[in-house]
Structures are given as structure tokens and as C-alpha cells.
Amino acid sequence: MRINKIVLFTMIGVVAFTTSACTQSKKDTEPAIIHYQVLALKNNAALDPMTQIELDAAEHFNKLNPSIQVVIDYMPETPPMAYSTQDIIKILQSNQPQDIVPLWETSMLPILDNRKLLLDLNDFLSNTNDKDINQRILDNATINGKLLLLPNAAYANLMMFNKELFDAAQVPYPQGDWTWEQFREISKKIKPSGPALSYDLGTLDMLMGGSGKKLLSTDGKTAIGYLDSPEAVSSLKWLNSYYHDNDNQISPLHIMDLFGRFDGHKMGMLLGGMGNTFLHLRGAI
């Protein structure tokens, strides 16, 4: 049995361990099969620490809840899928979408909500105050009073740097008071060189942060006056110039490309949400 509306959150572990959020007792739960999408191909799932956590959580959940079976769906081998916004929309609008799909950025929620692809989870939350998820985290996934996502973690934007490359360039380690211009000048000095920022809307939104502007209105209904604002234009020009600083003229990179370059000592620093990178590089930084 598939759930006829889509529940969107980032890891089955939230379901497995947040039993106080359920409004029904186990004895009232009907037998069901829940399809959960992971962001890995089946043949290399063992190489991804985050996928292993998800697989272990699903197995544990199935043991604790014999009437509910979580089935893992892997990414397709062909055609290749980058899991972009359009890929997620394609999955959710398919004839048999997964019941649970991961989402990297909450900035996508207004788009998905406007297309009515998500289930409001408020009806499934207990009215008591003993929720396992902090209310401020839940508020970040709430739009127009609707809870559309259950976050399993929030990752800060952090600066990771390779000490050997910084020492070789005789450059001081990153400090908390860096400006964007200092960041840019240091990027030029570190060899091997390469951008430490992904070329995407998330980076553009981060660059605009100091101006107090965002790419979308607070209600998520319009980009007019935001995406085309002077602050957005200025931030995009800065990002383009930053990429042109590189001697090798590297093409715009996705955050996953940057992870690979940083892990391979091909770049001296990396700025971004570091959740999966910490798992992958733990002990090697």
C-alpha cells in the first residue's frame, strides 16, 4: 500500500525514533509498505556513510514495527539524476512517487507547496508538548501554517581548510572576522587553486545574507523584487568574478563536486553545509 500523499523529510530515523509525534497507537495502525528514496545508487550505497545510517535506521524501524515495512528505493542507474529541484518535482509528480523523499534545502518548500505535492504533517503531531524535535527546527519547515518537512538535522555553513596547503602558501588560517573580499583574496593564494563556493542558488542566497535580502519573499510566494533586486544582481556579479579569479577557468561546480575536490586535496578550503562531509572525512581533516 502506498500513502496517497507525499510525506517529505530527510531521513527515516526521524520516524523510527519520534514515536511521541504519532497520533495513533501501534494497535490502530494498518499494515503498510512505505517506500523511502535514498540518494545513492544500489551498487555504491555501502560507500556513503549517510546512506548507511538511513539503511540501518530503516532496518531498526522494521524490527520495531512489524506491521509497517520500509522499502528502500535507490537512485536510478539510467538516466543519471543529479537530484535537482526539477528531479525532485519529477519524482513527486510521477505515477508512483516514493512516500518519503529527502530534501536538501528548505528553500524548495514554497515551490513544492504551490504545486500541492506535500502533505501537511500538523495533523499527525501530538497535541502534547513532549515532541522529540525542537519547535524552532519545526518552524523552519513550516510555511503558511503547514508543516511540510520533518528535519533530521541542521548543518551550519562552516569553513573547512587544508592546513598543509595554507602552510605551503604561508597564509594564516581562516578567522571568524573574514569579509567576503578577504575570502576571495585568500582563495587566489592557495594552490592548488579552485573555487570554494558552489555555483548555485544556495550560495547566492548566502552572499545576499549580509544585505538582509533573500531570493524569495518571506511567504515564499514571489521572487519579484528579490531575485531581481540590486542585492541579488551584485551578489551574482561577485560570484561570477570569483570564479574568473581561478587560472584554470573551472566551470561552475555543484557542491558535491567541491566535496570531491576538497577530499582529493585539489582545493585548499571549502565553505558550505558540512553534514555529509564530516561523516566522510572524519579523522582525515
Which one has a higher pLDDT value, 182 or 140?
182
Residue 63's pLDDT band (cuts 50, 70, 90): very high
**CA-based nearest residue to 108, from 135, 141, 152:** 141
- Strongest mean pLDDT among 161-170, 187-196, 264-273: 161-170
Confidence of residue 252 (pLDDT cuts 50, 70, 90): low
Give 106-120 as a DSSP string.
GGGHHHHHHTT-S--
Closest CA to 98 of 141, 166, 40, 34: 34
Work out the average pLDDT over 59-81: 87
pLDDT at 124: 74
CA dihedral of residues 48, 152, 273, 179 (deg, nearest 10): -170
Closest-CA residue to 48 (of 202, 275, 200):
275
Tell me the mean pLDDT in the region 254-265.
Answer: 72
Q: What is the pLDDT of residues 11-27, one digit of tens each?
A: 322 322 222 233 344 45
DSSP string, 101-168: E--S-GGGHHHHHHTT-S--GGGGS-SSS--SS-HHHHHHTEETTEE-EE-S----EEEEE-HHHHHH
pLDDT at 41: 85
What CA–CA distance (Å, rounded) separates 149 from 143? 10
Reported as a single tens digit per residue, the pLDDT across 138-157 is: 777 788 888 888 776 666 67
Residue 18: its pLDDT value, please?
A: 22
Torsion of CA 127, 18, 274, 34, to 10 degrees: -110
Percent with pLDDT over 90 in the chain: 11
pLDDT reported for residue 9? 34
Label residue 201 by pLDDT band (50, 70, 90). Answer: confident
Bridge-partner residues for 100, per DSSP? 7, 36
Q: What is the mean pLDDT of residues 94-111?
A: 79
CA distance 157 to 22: 32
- Whole-number pLDDT of residue 130: 60
Percent of the chain at pLDDT > 70 equals 72
Q: pLDDT value at position 56?
A: 92
- pLDDT at residue 276 tops 80: no
pLDDT value, residue 243: 82
Between residues 265 and 208, the one the model is more confident about: 208
Q: Taking a C-beta distance cutoff of 8 angstroms, is the pair 180, 234 a contact?
A: no
Look up residue 175 and give its three cell numbers.
578567522
32-52: pLDDT as tens digits: 899 998 888 888 787 777 788
Q: Hey, what's the cell of 91?
A: 519524482
The pLDDT value given to residue 38: 87
In the chain, the domains with their CATH numbers are 7-150 (3.40.190.10), 157-281 (3.40.190.10)
Average pLDDT over residues 166-177: 86
Q: pLDDT-derived band of residue 277, with 50, 70 and 90 as boundaries?
A: low
**Backbone torsion region of residue 164, taken as left when φ is above 0, otherwise alpha when ψ lies between -120 and 50, otherwise beta:** alpha
